[in-house]
Structure 1
Amino acid sequence: MQLSKANILIIDDDEDVLLALRLLLKSHVKKVQTTTNPNLIEGLLMEQQFDVLILDMNFNGLVHTGNEGLFWLNRIKQTNPKVDVILITAYGDIDLAIKSLKKGASDFVVKPWKNEKMLQAIKDLVESKKSSTPKPLQVNSNLKIIGDSEPMQAIFTKIKKVAPTDANVLILGENGTGKDLIAQAIHENSKRKNKPFIKVDVGSLTESLFESELFGYKKGAFTDARQDRMGRFEAANGGTIFLDEIGNISPRQQARLLTVLQNRMVTPLGSIEPVNLDIRLICATNLDISELADENRFRRDLIYRINTVDFVMPPLRERGNDLTLLAHYFSDVYSDKYSKGPFSFGDGFLNKLKSHSFPGNVRELQYVIERAVIMSEGDKLTKNDLVFSSIESLSQKFKPEETNLEELEKNTILAVIDKNNGNISKSAKELGLTRAALYRRLNKYDL
């Protein structure tokens, strides 16, 4: 949709603000309507269609908390959930901006605004509203995130709003959904993009390595400390540190991390001199937020510290036609890598892909397409080129709800024998048993 065809509604109790915005917009948009009374918003929304609402956050001359704007934002979203809302205030801060974005605002502009910035914010919203070909999100020159589905476009929009701030981010989602790519995209779209982006898989660090890896150490701090070593936090100074699998760290590690985040400084092992930190923190986990909320597993005060804004990555099975887009994208990537193709898709190829649930999400799809490209004999990928991982295939057939060990063993044996079409030798090998041991178990369970 073109900006020149847009209808804009502006709500502010300051007549001077309304006049300034009307003069700014009247030559750029189709229609500008203004009101000083927020009580009229719902009626106006029911009477006509607006593409963008520009809403002041304060309608009380004595108290400037922004709560009035958040109240009316909520009412607007109840009346028309799809309308884009730009919030404006003279009392801008990150916490208020993040709060408004969480409640459905599309953008946040601080008074006094720059006319070019206000126009660009409106233009971006209007042009994205009716776009039939959403663009992928470019992470860097070599990497982009593909996704035309509504959940992924919402993720892209959120990245553009949150990345320029220094708000701490928690990324939730199943394995293989692209949490690390989102972390990189946030960094690349931030003011810190020219500074380091340091990724640490904290879930894999042992208790003994946790502090030395993250906070560094001085020569002689312990037996093998033969020289000073900078920790990952200090290495990320000025930039972004991405702590992956944050949900897997122990209570002791959580306490140590919380102290560092609260004080914004680290003290390397063997030193008494703290190092000040200037970092942007991004964390990720495959745990559900309800699991993190269990205080027996994860400190609540640490959740508050790392979760100013959360991103919930959708699994591939909920992304509709993105499966097809990604299949074409990976096909092009690997045809270039292996100097084959370019490839087209034969009959049944996409149908077979779509019939698979992809428990490994985008990462699994990537490996499946790479295998298909490698094994293909011609320039057309067919359904026969698709081979799904035996591990993933088994997990599809056998997702145990049973916790009794004998039942688990029995069901596993059945699943493996079925996968191998009754071949006892192959099944025994896959199960790590001899043929005789497998036959004993078959007799035991009367199979």
Structure 2
Amino acid sequence: MVLKEARILVIDDDLDVLTALRLLLKPLVKEVVIEKNPSNINFQIENSKFDIIILDMNFNGLVNTGNEGIFWLNKIKEKKPEIAVILITAYADIDLAIRGLKEGASDFLVKPWKNEKIINTITSLLEAKKSSGSKKKTHQVENSEIIGDSDAMNAVFLKLKKIAPTDANVLILGENGTGKDLIAKALHENSNRSRMPFVKVDVGSLSSSLFESELFGYKKGAFTDAREDRKGRFEVAHGGTLFLDEIGNISLDQQGRLLTILQNRVVTPLGSNESIPIDIRLICATNIDPTILADEKKFRKDLIYRINTVDVIIPPLRDRENDITILSKHFISIYADKYNKGAISLDSGFISKLKKHQFPGNVRELQYVLERAVIMAEDSVLKSDDLVFSSIERTTTTNSIPTTNLDDLEKQAILSVLEKNKGNVSKSAKELGITRAALYRRLDKYEL
């Protein structure tokens, strides 16, 4: 049994707590070490190997804020990131415990705890570590299309398992093409609302007028084209999950309207005086740099607090080198079947060339690169020469030969703006003075 092989360190300045946990765990695990002084943490983890640390959030001092626990949690994660940390906190400090999860804790226990809960929590963490340490699964979250085997993605999977069953609002952060929509879907599918609607809205592409009618709905006659009543996305998602994509691109005025809805938990359709109660779990996503979200001139802090109970940061593909082979085989299989190519394998040169590429477009770019390779393949084995990156996937240069061809000029302008905005289609379309749909048509026209 996994539990029998475990080594556990318990850190608490309350001797009664240490004694109780030692008596509980000693018959079940290989070793239990208790430590009253948190200053000895470094010594303990440097001189002994622990699978799990149980850490108190508050230590005796002039003020008990829980920051002591966060401080020592960060020290542990800095020195030994592989050790799972379970926080012990009072019921009144649940918000602090959630902050601990953001800082890297694996779970938390609320005083007074139940012995069965502690044992189940420890067992689950140990089993998760064992499965990731042996032959890891490529799908780490149930009912999910997310594929990954890297340390970076395993950390994301562990976090998803913790927060999915809750009703906590989640903010998903990550570059374009990292799969934020898949993460949102996985959170819904593994929640208690999985049988209810999952409604996605690309709020970054909505104008001010469409923002209100799309999200809040409208009554017949509310405006010129309102020929019948229509439910807004909040109402459609009632009982389920509402996923607001590109939340970082909405205006301050739209942010204010959204904040009001989230505070009051009611929506009023356009053209109506009737307020409709809503029960939704909110998931938001953005590719905007967190420093921009922290700028109150661009994003309201009170809204950030509402939508960001827990954040999930999706690593870019360049930080997931171990996943490239797994993802490549997955997509090659899909496209070989789609284009009736039969079984296709990849030689080492093909994989090596893939791993050297930075993939500014992340998994989405990898997917399109591989689809192109399968379409053009003349053999059942793909080699490095079969791997070609398009102009949008390469860094554009300023030393290109001048051209007066209108199509070339338009293509170069699109490439330049997309690169400037790190692939953000909404921002690029706005800067170019065209709609997202128009930009997508041009991307298709120039095979970008």
TM-score tier by shorter-chain length is: 0.7 to 0.9
Identify the residue that residue 55 of structure 1 maps to in structure 2. 55
Q: Is 1:296 matched up with 2:291?
A: no
Shift in Å, 1:354? 2.5
The code of the aligned residue for 1:108 comes to F
* C-alpha separation in 2, matches of 1:243 and 1:307: 13
Shift in Å, 1:68? 4.9
* C-alpha separation in 2, matches of 1:212 and 1:224: 11
Shift in Å, 1:41? 4.0
Identify the residue that residue 187 of structure 1 maps to in structure 2. 188
Q: Deviations over 1:126-146 (max 9, x none)?
A: 3444604332345564x4212
Shift in Å, 1:328? 1.0
Q: How does 1:211-290 map to 2 (within 5 A)?
A: 211-290=212-291
Q: Deviations over 1:304-342 (max 9, x none)?
A: 222222222222122122112211111122233344332
Aligned residues: 409
Identify the residue that residue 328 of structure 1 maps to in structure 2. 329
The answer on whether the counterparts of 2:165 and 2:192 sit within 8 Å (CA) in structure 1 is: yes
* C-alpha separation in 1, matches of 2:57 and 2:392: 53
Identify the residue that residue 436 of structure 1 maps to in structure 2. none
Identify the residue that residue 96 of structure 1 maps to in structure 2. 96
The code of the aligned residue for 2:96 comes to L
The code of the aligned residue for 2:48 comes to Q
Percentage identity across aligned positions? 65
The code of the aligned residue for 1:289 comes to P
Identify the residue that residue 30 of structure 2 maps to in structure 1. 30
The answer on whether the counterparts of 1:101 and 1:107 sit within 8 Å (CA) in structure 2 is: yes
Shift in Å, 1:29? 1.7
Note the aligned Cα RMSD (angstroms): 3.0
Shift in Å, 1:344? 1.1
* C-alpha separation in 2, matches of 1:92 and 1:159: 24
Q: Is 1:397 matched up with 2:399?
A: no
Q: Deviations over 1:169-205 (max 9, x none)?
A: 2222211011111111222222222222111000111
Change (3 A) 1:193 1:118: farther
The answer on whether the counterparts of 1:170 and 1:284 sit within 8 Å (CA) in structure 2 is: yes
Identify the residue that residue 135 of structure 2 maps to in structure 1. 133
Identify the residue that residue 435 of structure 2 maps to in structure 1. none
Shift in Å, 1:260? 1.1
The answer on whether the counterparts of 2:141 and 2:161 sit within 8 Å (CA) in structure 1 is: no
DSSP 3-state at the match of 1:397: coil
The code of the aligned residue for 1:124 comes to S
DSSP 3-state at the match of 2:244: strand
The code of the aligned residue for 1:97 comes to A
Change (3 A) 1:94 1:278: farther
DSSP 3-state at the match of 1:145: coil
Q: How does 1:352-371 map to 2 (within 5 A)?
A: 352-371=353-372
Q: How does 1:160-199 map to 2 (within 5 A)?
A: 160-199=161-200
Q: Deviations over 1:42-70 (max 9, x none)?
A: 44334422211112334559987645543
Q: Answer with 29-38 or 271-280: which moved more.
A: 29-38
The answer on whether the counterparts of 2:265 and 2:279 sit within 8 Å (CA) in structure 1 is: yes
The code of the aligned residue for 2:379 comes to G
Q: Is 1:305 matched up with 2:306?
A: yes
Identify the residue that residue 441 of structure 1 maps to in structure 2. none
The answer on whether the counterparts of 1:172 and 1:313 sit within 8 Å (CA) in structure 2 is: yes
The answer on whether the counterparts of 2:86 and 2:109 sit within 8 Å (CA) in structure 1 is: yes
Q: Answer with 8-17 or 207-216: which moved more.
A: 8-17
The code of the aligned residue for 2:138 comes to P
Q: Deviations over 1:227-254 (max 9, x none)?
A: 2111101111222111111111122211
Shift in Å, 1:214? 0.2
Identify the residue that residue 388 of structure 1 maps to in structure 2. 389
* C-alpha separation in 1, matches of 2:319 and 2:89: 37
The answer on whether the counterparts of 1:244 and 1:285 sit within 8 Å (CA) in structure 2 is: yes
The answer on whether the counterparts of 1:94 and 1:167 sit within 8 Å (CA) in structure 2 is: no
* C-alpha separation in 1, matches of 2:216 and 2:337: 41
Q: Deviations over 1:338-358 (max 9, x none)?
A: 443322113522233233322
The answer on whether the counterparts of 1:265 and 1:274 sit within 8 Å (CA) in structure 2 is: yes
Q: Is 1:109 matched up with 2:126?
A: no
The code of the aligned residue for 1:245 comes to E
* C-alpha separation in 1, matches of 2:209 and 2:255: 14
Q: Answer with 179-188 or 122-131: which moved more.
A: 122-131
Change (3 A) 1:75 1:174: closer
The answer on whether the counterparts of 2:220 and 2:226 sit within 8 Å (CA) in structure 1 is: yes
For structure 2, list consecutive stretches of 5 or more residues without a partner in the other structure: 412-448
The answer on whether the counterparts of 2:255 and 2:300 sit within 8 Å (CA) in structure 1 is: yes
* C-alpha separation in 2, matches of 1:94 and 1:237: 26
Normalising by structure 2, we get a TM-score of 0.81
Shift in Å, 1:75? 4.8
Q: Deviations over 1:215-272 (max 9, x none)?
A: 1111221122222111101111222111111111122211111111122211111111
